[in-house]
């Protein structure tokens, strides 16, 4: 199977997902969920950009000399 085929959604699928979300969370909770989702994506993109900077060192290096 093609990945594009698996991820392709028709408008009916999107409508069904939207209705289910509305029923589960209600109209007032959905903007809060989307705001949190958006900020999570932004933080992820910022972390990826920070990793890709040339000359940036990995911050997870072990600085404890007793473990050697």
Of 3-7, 16-20, 58-62, the range with the highest mean pLDDT is 16-20
Burial tier of 21 (Cβ tally within 10 Å: 0-12, 13-18, 19+): middle
Phi, psi dihedral angles at 16 (to 5 degrees): -65, -45
Answer yes or no: are the C-beta atoms of 36 and 44 closer than 8 Å: no
Of the candidates 50, 20, 67, 68, which has an alpha carbon nearest to the alpha carbon of residue 59?
Answer: 50
What's the rounded mean pLDDT across residues 43-59?
Answer: 78
Residue 41 has pLDDT above 80, yes or no: yes
- Report pTM: 0.47
Owner of token pair 């939207």: 18
Percentage of the chain exceeding pLDDT 70: 69
Q: Confirm if 30 and 21 have CB atoms less than 8 A apart.
A: yes
């Amino acid at each position: 199977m093609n990945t594009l085929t698996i991820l392709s959604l028709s408008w009916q699928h999107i409508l069904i997902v939207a209705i289910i979300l509305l029923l589960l969370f209600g109209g007032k909770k959905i903007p809060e969920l989307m705001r949190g989702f958006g900020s999570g994506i932004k933080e992820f993109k910022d972390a990826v950009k920070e990793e890709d900077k040339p000359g940036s060192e990995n911050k997870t290096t072990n600085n404890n000399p007793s473990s050697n």
